[in-house]
A and B are shown apart, each in its own frame.
Chain A
Amino acid sequence: MPKPEILDPQGKAVSGALSRLGFAGISVRQGKRFELDLEGELTEERLAEVRQAAETLLANTVIETFNVRVEEPPSSSDAEEPAESAEQAELATQAG
Chain B
Amino acid sequence: MGPKIGVVTFPGSLDDQDALRAIRLCGGEPVPLWHGSDTLDDVQAVILPGGFSYGDYLRCGAISRFAPVMTEVITAANSGMPVLGICNGFQILCEAHLLPGALIRNNVRVFVCTDQDLLVESADTTWTSDFTQGQVITLVLKSGEGGYVADEETVRRLEGEGQIIFRYVNGNPNGSFHDIAGICNERGNVVGLMPHPEHNVDSLTGPSQDGRPIFSSIFSFLSAKV
Contacts and interface: CB of A to CB of B under 8 A. Distances in A.
Interface in B62-106: 62-63, 66, 94-95, 100-102, 104-106
Interface string A12-36: 1100000000000000000000000
A63 interface: yes
A6 B94 CA distance: 16
A83 interface: no
B107 interface: yes
Interface size class of B (residues with CB under 8 A): 20 to 34
Interface of B: 58-59, 62-63, 66, 94-95, 100-102, 104-107, 109, 147, 149-151, 175
Secondary structure type dominating chain B contacts: loop
Given A6-B149, A7-B147, A7-B149, A60 B95 contact: yes
30 contacts: A2-B104, A6-B104, A7-B104, A7-B107, A7-B147, A7-B149, A9-B104, A9-B105, A9-B106, A9-B107, A9-B109, A9-B147, A10-B105, A13-B109, A57-B58, A57-B62, A57-B63, A58-B58, A60-B59, A60-B62, A60-B95, A60-B102, A62-B94, A62-B100, A62-B101, A62-B102, A62-B150, A62-B151, A63-B104, A63-B149
Nearest to A7: B107
B109 A12 contact: yes
Nearest to B65: A57
A7 B104 CA distance: 8
Interface in A43-75: 57-58, 60, 62-63
Contacts of B66: 57
A15 to B, nearest CB: 12
Nearest to B60: A60
Residue of A2, A5, A57, A62 ringed by the most chain B CB atoms within 10 A: A62
Contacts of B95: 60
